[in-house]
Amino acid sequence: MHVRPVCLALALAASAVATAVFGQAYPSRPITLIVPYAAGGSVDAVARILTPKLGERLGQSVVIENVAGAGGIVGTQRAARAAPDGYTFLFSVESTMAIAKLVQPSTVQYDSQKDFVPISLIGTSPLVLAGKKELPANTTDELLKLVRANPGKFSYATSGTGTSLHVAGEMVNMEGKVSIVHVPYRVGAQMVTDLIGNQIDLAMLPLVMALPNYRNGNIKVFGTTEPTRSPVAPDLPSLAEHSDLKNVNVTVWFGCSRRPRSSRRSSSACIGRSPPRWRRRMCAPSSRRPACAWSATARPNSPPFWRRRSKSSPRSSRPQTSRRSRTARPMST
């Protein structure tokens, strides 16, 4: 299981070459990569691992612009309004591209299928149901018994309403027949801080945020949200291993997109069709890099494949929000 950031760089470089056909040499100035979440979160962490190689391949600096708000919607909408000149890319995730329109139709002002051209899927990762150290439960079975005996008394944090983390949390509520209160946070990193400080009972976290703190003994982990154990952390059980949660199945993905160019010809040329021999060479085992740094499985592929993937969402993409839900207290970014 490896990360291959060079494959994304190659796809974008190929897109750049295609763009140059229709204008001046590209890139002639720095490129902006919009990350629709705050700095310090899991999506931001993955983007910052990839951008150095991206800049090296393109011969220009790639500047990350964190535009947080509304569970990633604000940043995605900003990218959708960017000039279609090839100098603004979006670090996409399934929450904003496939789920947000379903759960917040009045808030989302973009069409992920029409306003963006897919460059490449970057990788996938499970989520993790984590708990504070003081929680009197150590296994999934103990946790279910605890929350069933105390309905509505325990809460779980996510990075926002309508995100994949929220979907996963509500799947646990529905499948486990429990009532854990949802607490949406504005800043993902704050969830971990509060979990470590025993300020919140549970949190649905990306694996990249949960794993280091679990290894350091700062939090408890009850399981991952994919049917099988993650190759990154095979010692962590899958929630599906418990018979009551066998249908919990949520996988998050990371990708890169850009605005389509105005002409149909240029749009089709700029979706990253790299020569097969380049892709084979850059994605060969000798070019791979360990993925432990961001706890995801690398899956670089063609734009048509990712376009099909971006139309899909987790199995229960419209979460049935808990009756009891409260808004997290104001937090500093």
* Residue with more model confidence, 277 or 189: 189
pLDDT tens by residue, 195-235? 999 999 999 999 988 999 999 999 999 999 999 999 889 99
Q: Is there a domain that residue 322 lies in?
A: no
In-domain check, residue 216? yes
For residue 328, is it within any domain? no
What mean pLDDT comes out for the span 243-255?
93
**Does some domain include residue 316?**
no
Q: Given 230, 245, 260, which residue is the final one in a domain?
A: 245
pLDDT digits (tens, 9 = 90+) for 25-58: 778 899 999 999 988 887 888 888 888 878 887 8
Q: Do 105 and 185 sit in the same domain of this protein?
A: no
What pLDDT score was predicted for residue 331?
32
Mean pLDDT estimate for the chain: 78
In a domain, 64, yes or no: yes
* Same-domain pairing of 53 and 108: yes
Greatest mean pLDDT among 41-50, 255-264, 303-312: 41-50
Residue 323, pLDDT above cutoff 50: no
Quote the domain boundaries for residue 151. 126-245
Model pLDDT, residue 58:
80
**Same domain as 256, residue 119:** yes
Residue 8: what pLDDT? 53
pLDDT digits (tens, 9 = 90+) for 104-162: 899 999 999 899 988 888 888 899 999 999 999 999 999 999 999 999 999 999 988 88
CATH of the domain at 203: 3.40.190.10
Question: What percent of the chain clears pLDDT 90, i.e. is strictly above it?
Answer: 46
pLDDT at residue 53, rounded to an integer: 79
Asked if residue 130 and residue 227 are part of one domain, the reply reads yes
Tell whether the model's pLDDT for residue 301 goes beyond 60: no
**pLDDT exceeds 80 at position 180:** yes
304 or 331, which is more confident: 304
Least confidently predicted of 16-20, 181-185, 217-221: 16-20
76 with 142, same domain: the answer is no
Q: Which two tokens stand for residue 329?
A: 């207290």
Question: 24 and 92 share a domain?
Answer: yes
Q: What's the gap between Cα 86 and its chain centre?
A: 23
The percentage of residues in the chain with a pLDDT greater than 70, rounded to a whole number, is 71
Do you know the residue count of the chain?
333
Q: DSSP assignment of 213-232, as one string?
A: HHHTTSSEEEEESSSS--SS
Q: Would residue 332 count as lying in a domain?
A: no
- Give the residue from 245, 272, 296 where a domain finishes: 245
Q: Are residue 64 and residue 95 in the same domain, yes or no?
A: yes
The CATH number that applies at residue 270 is 3.40.190.150
In a domain, residue 272? The reply is yes
Residues 98 and 27 in one domain: yes
Asked if pLDDT for residue 91 goes beyond 60, the answer is yes
Q: Is the pLDDT of residue 295 over 60?
A: no
132 lies in some domain: yes
79 and 177 housed in the same domain: no
| Sign of the dihedral through C-alpha 278, 293, 170, 157 | negative
Average pLDDT over residues 86-114: 90
Q: How far apart are CA 271 and CA 140, in angstroms?
A: 44
pTM above 0.85, yes or no: no
**Which residue among 204, 220, 245 closes a domain?**
245
Q: What is the β-pairing status of strands 62-66 and 31-35?
A: parallel
In a shared domain, residues 159 and 180: yes
pLDDT, greater one: 24 or 173 = 173
Same domain, 256 and 115: yes
**Is residue 106 a contact partner of residue 63, using CB atoms and an 8 Å limit?**
no
Q: What are the φ and ψ backbone dihedral angles of 45, each rounded to 5 degrees?
A: -65, -45
Residue 276 pLDDT level (bands cut at 50, 70, 90): very low
Alpha helices of the chain — where are they, by DSSP H?
5-20, 42-58, 73-80, 94, 100-103, 140-149, 164-176, 188-196, 207-215, 264-269, 276-282, 303-310
Overall number of domains in the chain: 2
- Residues 225 and 272 grouped into a single domain: no
Closest C-alpha to 247, from 315, 311, 182: 315
Distances (CA, A) of 124 to 12, 177, 209, 223, 226: 19, 28, 14, 17, 11
